[in-house]
Amino acid sequence: MQRKIKYCVANWKMNFNSTQSKEYLDSIRSKIFKRNNIKIIIASSFIDIAMNSKYLSNNISFAAQNVFYKSQGAYTGEISCNMLKEVNCNWVIIGHSERRAIFHESNEIINKKLTKVINEKLSPILCIGETEEERNQNKTLEILTSQLLTAFNGISYDKINNIKLAYEPVWAIGTGNTANFDIIDDTHKIIRNILLKNGYNGYDIPILYGGSVNEKNAKELAEIKNVDGFLIGGASLEVEKFYSIYNNL
Ligand code: PGA
């Protein structure tokens, strides 16, 4: 049963140089105590992933914020799954809303990335979420359905049943506007229903919440039954805040 474990994922985005990254990891390593039911996953910049891997432990693992879907070749500026595996980076965030909006990643590109990551036996965290406009137009169900089903296209059911999802409403990311308890609870149920209706194990696939999670709201949000962890941006940049969120999970 995958959902016995909770995930506390730090998405550092384009922050921290190597010195800052090391200071942070020294500090978090000295604080965390072993809680077998919680996994800390840190998504640093590509450039630091190799260095960070020496902090790998039962408690802390590392994620890439993105990856390319080809194995190798003339793809200037891209990073392959093999490169990640070599430096013990076992997790990959796919389809973050900033990748979708700023770098124009379509659901089809996300499908290629998800397929590649799964074939390479890395663990994906697939991000989905609607914009404010889409929510106001009552399109949340439609948008989440197409994000999920296009991303899953051509991938076997048993493989999809092993992925992790992150519901991140675009209007809550980096804005300080956390979705409220009811919206998160309802939307996580909607996602589970989409999964079940389409033959996936909607009861068992972990769904993290992301969008302005901080040390003040983490306790309340962690009580939502359908929330299996957090994907944290801004608040993950301060060790104390991230540690406090971890303690509230
Ligand atoms: P935020 O970012 O916590 O700063 O809202 C979350 C994310 O982008 O994953």
> What is the reported pLDDT for 174?
84
If we measure between CA atoms, which residue out of 197, 81, 185 comes closest to residue 149? 197
pLDDT of 137 > 80? The answer is yes
Strands (E) across the chain are located at 6-11, 38-43, 60-64, 91-94, 123-128, 164-167, 207-210, 229-232
- pLDDT above 90 covers what percent of the chain? 88
Bridge partners of residue 231, in order along the sequence: 9, 210
Average pLDDT score, the chain: 95
What does the pLDDT average to over 136-145? 97
Atom 2 of ligand 1, residue of closest alpha carbon = 233
Q: Could you give the 3-state DSSP secondary structure of residue 167?
A: strand
Ligand 1 pocket mutation, candidates 126, 165, 212, 237, criterion most atoms within 8 A of CB: 212
pLDDT in tens, 156-212: 999 999 999 999 999 888 888 877 899 999 999 999 999 999 999 999 999 999 999
Known active-site residue 96: yes
> Which of the residue ranges 22-36, 74-88, 142-156 would you say has the lowest mean pLDDT?
22-36
What does the pLDDT average to over 86-110? 97
Question: How close is the Cα of 5 to the center of ligand 1, in Å?
Answer: 21
Atom 6 of ligand 1, residue of closest alpha carbon = 233
Ligand 1 pocket mutation, candidates 15, 231, 238, 245, criterion most atoms within 8 A of CB: 231
3-state secondary structure 57-76: CCCEEEEECCCCCCCCCCCC
List pocket residues of ligand 1, CB cut-off 6 Å.
Answer: 11, 168, 173-174, 210-213, 231-235
Question: How close is the Cα of 249 to the center of ligand 1, in Å?
Answer: 17
What does the pLDDT average to over 25-48? 90
> What is the reported pLDDT for 175?
84
Report the distance separating Cα 170 and Cα 97, nearest Å: 7
User: Which of 98, 105, 134, 168 is an active site residue?
Assistant: 168
> What is the reported pLDDT for 31?
84
pLDDT of 30 > 90? The answer is no
Ligand 1 pocket mutation, candidates 232, 237, 244, 245, criterion most atoms within 8 A of CB: 232
What is the value of pTM for the model shown? 0.96
Split at pLDDT 50, 70, 90, the class of 4 is confident
Question: How close is the Cα of 73 to the center of ligand 1, in Å?
Answer: 32
Atom of ligand 1 nearest to the CA of 173: 5
pLDDT of 1 > 70? The answer is no
Tokens 């137009």 correspond to 137
pLDDT of 35 > 90? The answer is no
> What is the reported pLDDT for 101?
95
> What is the reported pLDDT for 55?
92
Atom 7 of ligand 1, residue of closest alpha carbon = 233
What does the pLDDT average to over 105-126? 98
> Which of the residue ranges 11-15, 50-54, 104-108, 114-118 would you say has the lowest mean pLDDT?
50-54
